Amino acid sequence: MVINEQIIKIKEEMISDINLVNDINGVNDIKVKYMGKKGLITDLMKMMGELSPEQKKDFGKSINELKEYFNSNVLIIEERLKEEGINRKLNNEKIDITLPATQIRVGGVHPIVKIVDELEELFVSMGYSVVSGPEVESDLYNFEMLNLPKEHPARDSQDSFYITNDTLLRTQTSAVQVRSMLANQEKKPFKIICPGNTYRRDSDDATHSHQFMQMEGLVVQENVSLADLKGTLEVFVKRFFGEERVIRFRPSFFPFTEPSYEVDVSCFKCGGVGCPLCKNTGWIEILGSGMVHPNVLNACGFDSNKYVGFAFGIGIERVAMLKYGINDIRDFYTNDLRFLSNYDRMEGGNK
Amino acid sequence: MRLSKKFLSDYLDVSGLSFNELAEKMILIGNEYDSVEKLSSATNCVVGYVEEIKEHPDSDHLHVCQVKINDNEITQIVCGAPNVDKGQKVIVALPGAILPGNFEIKKGVIRGEESNGMICSLGELGIDSKYLSEEDKNGIHALENDAPIGIDAISYLGYDDEVIDFELTSNRSDLLSIIGMAYEVNSIIDSKVEIKEDIISREVEDINDYLSINVNTDKCPLYIARMVKNVVIKESPLFIKNRLIASGIRPINNVVDISNYVMLEYGQPLHFFDYDKLNKVINVRMANNNEKIVTLDQIERALTEEDIVICNDKEAICLAGVMGGLNSEVDNNTVNVAIEAAIFDSFNVRKTSNNILRSEASNRFEKGIDYKRTYMAINRAVYLLEKYADALVIKGQLVHNKIEYKEKIVEVTLDKINSVLGLNLTVEEVISALSKLTLEATYNNDKFTINIPSRRLDLNIKEDIIEEVGRIHGINNIIGKLPTTEAIPGSYEEEYYREKQIRKRLSSLGLTQVKTYTLTNQNNINQFNLNKVDAIILQSPMSEDRKYLRTTLIPSLLEVMNYNIARKNNDIFIYESSNIYYYDSEKNVKTKRLISGLINGVYTTNSWKNEKVIGDFYVLKGIVENILNYLGLTDRYDFVINELPSELHPYQSANIIIDREQVGIIGKVHPKLTKGNVYVFELDLDKILNIKVRNIKNKEINKYPSISKDVAFILDKDVLAGDVIKLIKKTAGRMLTNIGVFDIYTGENIDSNRKSVAFNLVFSDNTKTLTDVEVMNYFDKIIEEVKAKFNAELRDK
């Protein structure tokens, strides 16, 4: 049984070799030593031809066992060594994750534009079209067709920047009301909002700005009431100032609406019990609104006996100041990057 | 308009009404207020009698007074007023009194002398010094000798009044009078407005013997004149003075005060002339251009044809509706008074008062006068002059009346009211709301008929009535709903929407949006004025700094940059989109929508790794290209060096061209304008948003491998890489799918006037695998072309 002895000898040697292997090169070496073309096991196989069928069977079995022993043991070592190698590599790649991040520059949207964007999305979702109009406007559209003839005393409250006797920087986005109605002579019902810059001859201070943004809203159709106006403004107020907010209409006067209302929102700071923000009234004035004056409808070709409309004008800076607690309107126009960057994120939501 | 409770109670019973509560209720019917105040908030003040007075032993100006403060008590008070005297009735603030300004009176010792209170001036009671006589400004106030000792001094003086300062809407001219206010307040308390008839006790002679009036302008539709003789000029009675003070008007003398008093009551301004300065005639006419008048404030005014003047036989004596002339003023020597009650054209008064002075009178004329009140007011004035100025009333009045008053009847249906207000009111509720406003309404044949009283100049159409019903009934229990319309999809104007997308893209590229003013100064409109357009200037600017409409956004961005750098906010990456305005060659106003950006400083950085990208021309070019590619303009734009604005660096700037049309600029700001490395761009949004671009279509991904080739050319330094790229593209045709520059080299082995530029070319074909032979064909051709056209050599051969 020379062969069997050889097998035993090889196996002993193999066990010793396997135990000594400690890197991938060693694995390759013993693979060559035992399984290579001239390897010890390969040599054994070559001896098979000299054996009787009976012996062949036994011998084959032994060799297979030996091969299997080798392969399974080497595989285990191989895997262990690979893993050790990866672990070593990973360990070498260890970084300090607390070091400062790479500064990737991202820009932001100006806070009042952010408000405008949000308002637009809200009103577009309610079927409004966003339209724009010129900032250099004719006296005719800015005043006269809005029921504000020359020398009307209400023009006092909005001293204007005139360019010529007939053109001025618009004092209100309401001018777009006229343009929209004139452009809609097929008299289809329509709902528009118009955000934009407006200008008044005010000296700039913490609460006044000679330039500011307004968003006009206008709905004209055959039947629309104050209840529709109220419902629409409630959607806006709740979205911007919280679901618990309520509004009230305070009768007022604007030449282009009749009836006219100032709209107050219940104070979002104190909830309506009274605090310095609402001057202890529980209410904060937020916008002007009303039912479109028949003179305006008629001047724009809409028969006031048939059509009615409501209109509202939202002061964007005012909404932004109230919503965010900004105290100085000039902050919007000096553009301190520290101020602007504060608004470059999503809202927290209502959770 | 300041509303005094005492004044109001002449016409309406408001006893038991809290003025604070009233003010809150008035807000809900549309009358905002600024404040509710007591005329004097002083407490614990009594009428005292100075029994004894002696000099303070330890002071050269203090007096030690023994003051009787009730029947049984005399107390010692130290007083510093120069005019305090024995035998005076005075106002004594007792210990524990709180004077305005939260000033508490305590017992004390003043330089060794006990003092148990304070003898007060009117100022110390809270009356503004502008209302006080010189005497009252400088010392304590002496009361009438018959003032009962010990009674409450505040109520004795009539200062126990409350005042609401209303901020009224400009349509409510009727509320600029106590009577008008009485009707309005009545709508809340539902009482009854009562106007007593003023009966003049004696009238003599005939006004026609004294005066005639001629009105030679249609700007004075109503002019009434009356006359009184032998007035005695003196101080007004306390109640008149107090009501004027409460209403914000300074008392002067009984005659002048009566004219103001009646104006406050009726809303009808009056003018009193010194009759003896008239020469028996009053002429009303338009002024001549440059006619002069010296007004009561002793200023000479030059007039225009739009000013209405009142004249005597020779000259203008009054600027109608605005201010009297010095030459006809009622003064302390006046004996006979001619009284004017008139209505002047509101537009003209407004013009005049804009130029000269706004006054209580002009304010009322501008907003409109109820002609019935004109008649009532002049009668009231005569009555008060008889009563409080001992006037002898001349019989009759001179009237010029061209008013054609038509009764105002407004009709409205219940349906209309409910459909506008979104309510379900009944006929009774509507009638009730209107009757609270003393508006008579009848309901017949399904509609209301309302007879509008002449005092309500603001009520003319049915919408006005609807508003009144809503105002008084209340509209805050309306249930809000959304309009039910035929559904219309919401939408944006296309350009506006595209601009929004560009803004988002710019933000994601690292630029922060700013918002700056349209109005700017002369310096800024001349800078970066690319097309040398004619800037628009305001007619009457507020300041030199806000005088012009800007013609470019870049100077505004530079201002924002400087503002931030001054505050150590470094690394400025900003943009703005806005309109600019200018005149074209025919002086028509033109608008253009621009978007501009500015970069300065570090774009991205990791400081501890010492890695950073500085914002330079190429970073900004990358941003601009990204925007243009985003708009679908890939391969259609070009950066071209030709005429550039002088505010840009001549060798680091370019015009941006699309399809041969200039659409903007990009470049470094010239060092003469700023020290730092500042780069700007400006794009004409109107142009780039109106370029036709094809819609997105799928492109099959090329599944065949590509072949990449590198080549470096040695070129003259002036040769532009972009020109070489253009030539390579043109020569290679569609097989060339990408081209890049990967190295620029000057120095060793290259002539000093030459440079090496290395290109990477990628070839592929989407129908087959390209062979090297095929690619080399193109490649060699490219090399030959570049060599020939640009005097180039291959670097590596």
- Domain assignment of residue B194, yes or no: no
Q: How far apart are alpha carbons B621 and B542 in whole angstroms? A: 39
pLDDT band at A158 (very low <50, low <70, confident <90, very high): low
The reply to whether A140 and A283 lie within a common domain is yes
Chain B residue numbers touching A294 (CB-CB < 8 A): 461, 463
Point out the domain boundary residue: B378, B401, B424.
B401
Query: Which of B344, B223, B364 has the alpha carbon at shortest distance from B287?
Result: B344
Three-state DSSP class for residue B355? helix
Q: Is the pLDDT of residue A1 over 60?
A: no
- Domain assignment of residue A142, yes or no: yes
- Enter the DSSP assignment of B643: S
The reply to whether B548 and B676 lie within a common domain is yes
The CA-based angle B291-B293-B297, given to 5 degrees, is: 150
Q: Do B514 and A227 touch (CB under 8 A)?
A: no
* pLDDT for res A154: 63
Rounded average pLDDT over B562-572: 95
Q: Do B169 and A126 touch (CB under 8 A)?
A: no
Q: Do B480 and A167 touch (CB under 8 A)?
A: no
The reply to whether A163 and A241 lie within a common domain is yes
User: Best of A105, A123, A339 to disrupt the B interface by mutation (most B CBs within 10 Å)?
Assistant: A105
Least confident range of A28-37, B147-156, B597-606: A28-37
CB B49 within 8 A of CB B177: no
Rounded average pLDDT over A69-82: 88
Q: Is the pLDDT of residue B566 over 70?
A: yes
pLDDT band at A7 (very low <50, low <70, confident <90, very high): confident
Give the count of domains, chain B.
6
Give DSSP secondary structure letters for B245-310. HHTT-----HHHHHHHHHHHHHS--EEEEEGGGTTTEEEEEEPPTT-EEEBTTS-EEE--TTSEEE
Rounded average pLDDT over A270-274: 85
Q: Is the pLDDT of residue B440 over 70?
A: yes
Whether B607 and chain A come into contact, CB under 8 Å, resolves to yes
Whether B610 and chain A come into contact, CB under 8 Å, resolves to no
Chain B residue numbers touching A261 (CB-CB < 8 A): 475
The reply to whether A166 and A35 lie within a common domain is no
Q: What CATH number is associated with residue A145?
A: 3.30.930.10
The reply to whether A55 and A185 lie within a common domain is no
The reply to whether A252 and A196 lie within a common domain is yes
Q: Is the pLDDT of residue B391 over 60?
A: yes
The reply to whether B540 and B628 lie within a common domain is yes
The reply to whether A165 and A248 lie within a common domain is yes
The reply to whether A80 and A122 lie within a common domain is no
- Location of structure tokens 């303070």: B56
Q: How far is CA A324 from CA A268, A274, A343, B52, B626, in A?
A: 11, 19, 9, 65, 33
Of B367, B466, B481, the CB nearest to A259: B466
**Is the confidence metric ipTM above 0.90 for this complex?**
no
Point out the domain boundary residue: B633, B661, B688.
B688
- Give alpha helix (H) positions in B671-711: 685-688
The reply to whether B224 and B306 lie within a common domain is yes
The reply to whether B111 and B211 lie within a common domain is no
Residue of B nearest to A162 (CA): B539
Adjacent-strand bridge partners of A314: A215, A287
Q: Is the pLDDT of residue A156 over 80?
A: no
Beta-carbon count within 10 A of B11 CB: 22
The reply to whether B352 and B234 lie within a common domain is yes
Classify the C-alpha dihedral A270-A275-A277-A278 as positive or negative: positive
Chain A residue numbers touching B562 (CB-CB < 8 A): none
pLDDT band at B16 (very low <50, low <70, confident <90, very high): confident
Q: How far apart are alpha carbons B734 and B716 in whole angstroms? A: 28
Q: Is the pLDDT of residue B39 over 80?
A: yes
* pLDDT for res A157: 53
Point out the domain boundary residue: B349, B379, B401.
B401
Q: Return the axis-axis angle of helices B254-266 and B360-367, rounded to nearest 10°.
A: 30
* pLDDT for res B658: 95
pLDDT digits (tens, 9 = 90+) for B255-286: 999 999 999 999 999 999 999 999 899 999 99
Q: Do A341 and B464 touch (CB under 8 A)?
A: no
The reply to whether A69 and A177 lie within a common domain is no
* pLDDT for res B785: 92
Specify burial of residue B420 (Cβ count, 10 A radius: 0-12, 13-18, 19+). buried
Give residue B258's region: left, alpha or beta (phi > 0; psi -120 to 50): alpha
Chain B residue numbers touching A113 (CB-CB < 8 A): 503, 513, 515
Q: Is the pLDDT of residue B667 over 60?
A: yes
* pLDDT for res B373: 94
Chain B residue numbers touching A129 (CB-CB < 8 A): 488, 490-493
Q: Do A130 and B573 touch (CB under 8 A)?
A: no
Of B347, B492, B515, the CB nearest to A110: B515
With residue B142 as reference, give the H or E element that holds it.
Answer: strand B142-143
Report the gap between the CA of B483 and the closest CA in chain A (Å). 5
pLDDT digits (tens, 9 = 90+) for B81-113: 999 999 999 999 999 999 998 899 999 898 988
- Give alpha helix (H) positions in chain A: 2-20, 24-35, 40-46, 53-92, 111-125, 139-142, 175-183, 226-241, 294-299, 316-324, 331-334, 337-341
Overall size of chain A counted in residues: 351
Q: What is the 3-state secondary structure (H, E, C) of B510-571?
A: CCEECCCCCEECHHHHHCCCCCCCEECECCCCCCHHHCEECCCCHHHHHHHHHHHHHCCCCC
Token reading at B359: 């006054």
The reply to whether B414 and B450 lie within a common domain is yes
Report the gap between the CA of B347 and the closest CA in chain A (Å). 6
Of B483, B563, B589, the CB nearest to A167: B589
The reply to whether B609 and B740 lie within a common domain is no
Q: Give the dihedral of Cα atoms A236, A240, A241, A245; nearest 10 deg.
A: 20
- Location of structure tokens 């706004």: B358
Least confident range of A19-33, B175-189, B422-436: A19-33
Domain coverage including residue A203: 111-341
Chain B residue numbers touching A106 (CB-CB < 8 A): 507-508, 510
Of A99, A227, A344, the CB nearest to B479: A227
Of B475, B504, B538, the CB nearest to A161: B538
Report the gap between the CA of A87 and the closest CA in chain B (Å). 26
Chain A residue numbers touching B167 (CB-CB < 8 A): none
Query: Which of A47, A48, A27, A39 has the alpha carbon at shortest distance from A67?
Result: A39
Q: Do B346 and A153 touch (CB under 8 A)?
A: yes
Q: To the nearest whole number, what is the mean pLDDT of chain B? A: 92
| Backbone φ, ψ for residue A309 (5° rounding) | -160, 160
CB < 8 Å from B in window 139-178 of A:
150-151, 153-154, 156-157, 161-165, 167, 169
CB < 8 Å from A in window 759-788 of B:
none
Query: Which of B128, B423, B380 has the alpha carbon at shortest distance from B263?
Result: B380
Pairing, β B408-413 against β B447-452: antiparallel
Q: Do A102 and B30 touch (CB under 8 A)?
A: no
Q: How far apart are alpha carbons B232 and B336 in whole angstroms? A: 10
Residues 6+ apart with CB under 8 A from B789: B727
- Domain assignment of residue B696, yes or no: no
Q: Do B422 and A199 touch (CB under 8 A)?
A: no
* pLDDT for res A152: 74
Whether B478 and chain A come into contact, CB under 8 Å, resolves to yes
Q: How far apart are alpha carbons B648 and B671 in whole angstroms? A: 8
Report the gap between the CA of B679 and the closest CA in chain A (Å). 17
Rounded average pLDDT over B17-32: 91
- Location of structure tokens 């135990």: A19
Q: How far apart are alpha carbons A65 and B36 in whole angstroms? A: 109
Point out the domain boundary residue: A65, A92, A119.
A92
Domain coverage including residue B714: 707-794
The reply to whether A86 and A117 lie within a common domain is no
CB B680 within 8 A of CB B669: yes
CB B106 within 8 A of CB B95: yes
Q: How far apart are alpha carbons B384 and B258 in whole angstroms? A: 7
Whether B470 and chain A come into contact, CB under 8 Å, resolves to yes
Q: How far apart are alpha carbons B163 and A50 in whole angstroms? A: 132
Q: To the nearest whole number, what is the mean pLDDT of chain A? A: 89
* pLDDT for res A43: 82
With residue B399 as reference, give the H or E element that holds it.
Answer: strand B398-401
Residue B741 amino acid letter: V
pLDDT band at A329 (very low <50, low <70, confident <90, very high): very high
Q: What is the 3-state secondary structure (H, E, C) of B594-616?
A: EEEEEEECEEEEEHHHCEEEECC
Query: Which of A210, A183, A199, A214 has the alpha carbon at shortest distance from A137?
Result: A199
| Backbone φ, ψ for residue B160 (5° rounding) | -85, 55
- Domain assignment of residue A191, yes or no: yes
CB < 8 Å from B in window 171-190 of A:
189-190
Report the gap between the CA of A348 and the closest CA in chain B (Å). 20
Q: Do B470 and A221 touch (CB under 8 A)?
A: no
Q: Give the dihedral of Cα atoms B178, B183, B186, B187; nearest 10 deg.
A: -140
The reply to whether B397 and B413 lie within a common domain is no
* pLDDT for res A40: 83
Rounded average pLDDT over A232-237: 94
The reply to whether A297 and A232 lie within a common domain is yes
The reply to whether A160 and A218 lie within a common domain is yes
Q: How far apart are alpha carbons B272 and B263 in whole angstroms? A: 12
Point out the domain boundary residue: A34, A65, A92.
A92
Q: How far is CA B128 from CA B228, B234, B239, B242, in A?
A: 33, 22, 17, 12
Chain A residue numbers touching B575 (CB-CB < 8 A): 107
CB B700 within 8 A of CB B739: no
Of A113, A130, A231, the CB nearest to B480: A231
Whether B592 and chain A come into contact, CB under 8 Å, resolves to no
Per cent of chain B over pLDDT 90 is 81
Cut 0.90: pTM above it? no
Of B478, B490, B507, the CB nearest to A226: B478
The reply to whether A81 and A119 lie within a common domain is no
Give DSSP secondary structure letters for B35-46. EEEES----SEE
Q: Return the axis-axis angle of helices A53-92 and A2-20, rounded to nearest 10°.
A: 0
Chain B residue numbers touching A104 (CB-CB < 8 A): 604
CB A318 within 8 A of CB A284: no
Whether A263 and chain B come into contact, CB under 8 Å, resolves to no
- Enter the DSSP assignment of A58: H
Q: What CATH number is associated with residue B185?
A: 3.30.56.10
Q: Is the pLDDT of residue B240 over 90?
A: yes
CB < 8 Å from B in window 222-261 of A:
223-228, 230-235, 248-253, 255, 258-261
CB pairs under 8 A between A and B: 261
pLDDT digits (tens, 9 = 90+) for B693-706: 999 999 888 899 99
Q: How far apart are alpha carbons A33 and B689 in whole angstroms? A: 75
Q: How far is CA B19 from CA B2, B98, B120, B261, in A?
A: 12, 21, 27, 22
The reply to whether B374 and B256 lie within a common domain is yes
The reply to whether B233 and B312 lie within a common domain is yes
Adjacent-strand bridge partners of B412: B448
The reply to whether B334 and B453 lie within a common domain is no
Q: Do B516 and A126 touch (CB under 8 A)?
A: no
Q: What CATH number is associated with residue B615?
A: 3.30.930.10
Q: How far apart are alpha carbons B283 and A100 in whole angstroms? A: 87
* pLDDT for res A153: 65
Adjacent-strand bridge partners of B292: B302
* pLDDT for res A27: 87
Q: Is the pLDDT of residue B475 over 90?
A: no
- Give alpha helix (H) positions in B437-486: 462-473
Beta-carbon count within 10 A of A59 CB: 20
Give the count of domains, chain A.
2
Whether B560 and chain A come into contact, CB under 8 Å, resolves to yes
Rounded average pLDDT over B533-544: 91
| Backbone φ, ψ for residue A317 (5° rounding) | -60, -40
Residue B591 amino acid letter: T
The reply to whether B209 and B236 lie within a common domain is yes
- Domain assignment of residue A102, yes or no: no
Q: How far apart are alpha carbons B316 and B284 in whole angstroms? A: 9
Point out the domain boundary residue: A92, A124, A150.
A92
Query: Which of B735, B710, B738, B713 has the alpha carbon at shortest distance from B724?
Result: B713
